[in-house]
Every structure is written in structure tokens, then in C-alpha cells.
């Protein structure tokens, strides 16, 4: 069974999607810990409900960014996680902590990377006049949403869409995307590093598609 650690800063909806898939028997994994950089992160409630340990590491209690990263990953490593999932984790991590773990750390991002790294992705897609939008799961490297893209889900932008309606329509697809990528990791079908992704031992030349 795949042991998964989840890093979260926000409401925890992607964590909830993983937990729900595990409960349904659709995902052979267990959440061994949830790690937060904000005391009020919504991820705390689903972690508690699932009986998973929820750990808060306060950046303000650390002298430097690197001190925080090291304190955080000391706790992540102690969980024994096989896979580290950044699910709404709003911090860029230091090379010193990413490099030893890059082959087992992924992030989900609400855009069709490399388009729109960072924040406000739904509004940026609308402002650009895009015809489609989506979400990506990518390898974590010490740069903002810049690692190799593993898989994506896409949806058409409809007339009259707002950032709010677009986000709401995308969210279920985002959840399915993350669950599928974690499932592939558990099945040992994915292998990746800071530069490339292999699926079933074949080098990917573009992201996998998830409906």
C-alpha cells in the first residue's frame, strides 16, 4: 500500500478527494500525515476525520525559509511516506529539501501548465480569451510550478464563465486527476525526476490525459 504525505495550505479539497477514493476502495493508499504551514488550513478537518496525523509547522517560528523547510521535511520523513503530494501548498521549497525527494514529490496546479503558474489561474485564462482551461499534476522542483508535467485534465471555457464558475466546474476534474496520478504511483507505473517522466517505462513526450 502506497504511503502518502499531503502538504496543504488551504481548504483541503484535494486531500478530501484522496481520502474519499481510499474509503471507496478506488485507491490503494493510506494518508500517513498531513502537513500544514497555516494554523487554520482547511486540510486539518479531513485529516482529523480520517484519523491521520495533522502537523502544523509555523514559518514565523523559523529564522529562515530553509529552517522552515528542514523542520517541515524532518516531520514528513518521519511519517515514512513513499509519495509526497503538495495539494494547495502555497510555498516554493528550497533546493536543499527538494533535491533528495524530487523523485517522489508531486503538485497539483489549476491550469494547463506551462500556462499560468502561480495564482489567479482561472481569471488569467478568461482574461487571455482561452477556449479551454484545466489542471496539471507536475513534478516538484525548486521553482514555481515549473517541474515536468505528468498529467492534465481539460475542459472547455463556456460563454459567460466567471473565475468562480470555471473553478467550480474544474474542481471535480482536478480531484479525479490527482487520484489517478496517485493511483499510477501506487501501481509503480510512473517514474520521474527533475527533468523527465516515464510511464510504463516509456519516456513521456507530453502530459498524460485524464478525463
Question: Which residues carry out catalysis?
Answer: 109
Q: Is 200 exposed, middle or buried (0-12, 13-18, 19+ CB in 10 A)?
A: exposed
Give CA–CA dist 198/5, Å, rounded: 22
Give CA–CA dist 197/98, Å, rounded: 17
Describe the strand order of the beta sheet including 54-56 as a list of residue ranges. Answer: 54-56, 29-36, 2-8, 83-87, 105-109, 132-139, 149-156, 208-209
154 C-beta neighbours (distance < 10 Å), count: 17
Residues in contact with 159: Cβ distance below 8 Å, sequence separation at least 6, in sequence order? none
Give CA–CA dist 136/145, Å, rounded: 9
Amino acid at each position: 500500500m502506497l504511503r502518502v504525505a499531503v502538504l496543504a495550505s488551504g481548504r483541503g479539497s484535494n486531500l478530501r478527494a484522496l481520502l474519499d477514493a481510499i474509503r471507496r476502495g478506488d485507491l490503494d493508499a493510506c494518508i500517513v500525515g498531513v502537513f500544514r504551514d497555516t494554523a487554520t488550513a482547511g486540510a486539518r478537518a479531513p485529516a482529523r476525520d480520517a484519523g491521520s496525523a495533522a502537523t502544523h509547522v509555523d514559518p514565523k517560528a523559523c529564522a529562515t525559509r530553509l529552517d522552515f523547510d528542514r523542520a517541515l521535511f524532518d516531520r514528513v520523513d518521519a511519517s515514512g511516506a513513499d509519495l509526497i503530494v503538495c495539494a494547495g501548498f502555497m510555498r516554493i521549497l528550497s533546493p536543499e529539501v527538494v533535491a533528495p525527494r524530487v523523485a517522489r514529490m508531486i503538485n497539483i496546479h489549476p491550469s494547463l501548465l506551462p500556462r499560468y503558474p502561480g495564482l489567479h489561474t482561472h481569471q488569467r485564462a478568461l482574461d487571455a480569451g482561452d477556449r479551454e482551461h484545466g489542471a496539471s499534476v507536475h513534478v516538484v522542483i525548486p521553482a514555481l510550478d515549473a517541474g515536468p508535467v505528468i498529467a492534465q485534465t481539460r475542459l472547455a471555457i463556456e460563454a459567460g464563465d466567471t473565475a468562480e464558475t470555471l473553478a467550480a466546474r474544474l474542481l471535480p476534474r482536478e480531484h479525479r486527476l490527482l487520484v489517478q496520478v496517485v493511483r499510477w504511483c501506487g501501481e509503480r507505473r510512473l517514474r520521474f525526476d527533475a527533468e523527465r517522466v516515464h510511464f510504463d517505462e516509456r519516456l513521456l513526450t507530453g502530459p498524460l490525459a485524464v478525463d
